[in-house]
Amino acid sequence: MMINYTYQKAMIVGDEIMRERLFQIIEVDTEDNALSTIYDTVMMITIFISIVPLAFKDTNKVFNAIDYITTGIFIADYLFRLITADLKLKIKSPAAFFVYPFTPMAIIDLMVILSSFTVIGSGVKLLKILRLLRTFRVLRAFKFLRYSKSIAIIIMVLKKESQALTAVATLAIAYILISALVIFNIEPDSFNTFFDAVYWATVSLTTVGYGDIYPTTTLGRMVTMISSVFGIAIIALPSGIITGGYLNEINKGNHSD
């Protein structure tokens, strides 16, 4: 009896060690972890290869084979992450395995996998509806977020600078609404709805200038000029914040080395 208990306890400890090792491999590791680096590289190559067929309208046997193989790899990756969900979420209970499928990246992974299964046929109406899931294949590009260390740094910067970026976003939204109100009242003939004015203000703020909606009066053009000039300053703010934060993180990493 004691031997069986000791054996079971050893098996549990062994499983925990294996899961922790697996978790260190599949997660982006900042330390020198050769297996983690290899895993990330393989997954990024797999994602890139899986996206190639999306650049073509027609399909063939080679593209189908690519889809089946890459989907198999994605399924394995999803299962690896599911069985280590408690380590990822830092929840020491079975609830972690039920919570993980509803996390953003897990949803993307699942959508990518499900979209690939719709290639099995198109004769049944249900399958024709499910073919809409093929659209979610483009989400494979977002899987790069998990394996790129540079993107991981940018995400960290966004979290740290969230307060400053939120202030800039609030300023931009306020400026768009005020500019829209001004131009909508100055040139009611050029803008049929307030949404048209908001669209114009957004395009002017970003200095894109499609030219499909534009003011025709002198006063309206003056407002456009002012809006465009201030737009350059507002758009430049988040770029400076993100660039500064990114350089700080890179410098921290260099100093730590």
pLDDT digits (tens, 9 = 90+) for 52-84: 887 777 778 898 888 889 889 989 999 999 998
Range with top average pLDDT, 109-118, 133-142, 210-219, 247-256 = 210-219
Instruction: For residue range 137-186, list pLDDT tens digits in order.
Output: 666 666 666 666 667 777 777 788 888 888 888 888 888 888 888 888 88
Residues 135 and 198 both lie in one domain: no
Count of domains observed in the chain: 2
- Do 59 and 126 belong together in one domain? yes
pTM tops 0.85: no
Pick the more confident residue, 127 or 94: 94
Reference 251, options 174, 153, 169; nearest CA is 153
Q: Same structural domain for residues 168 and 61?
A: no
Pull the structure tokens for residue 168.
């800039």
Residues 138 and 67 in one domain: yes
Asked, for residue 153, whether it belongs to a domain, the answer is no
Find the domain containing 246 and state its range: 160-256
- The verdict on 34 and 135 lying in the same domain is yes
Contact 242, 162 (CB under 8 A): no
Domain closes at, from 147, 178, 209: 147
* 173 shares its domain with 240: yes
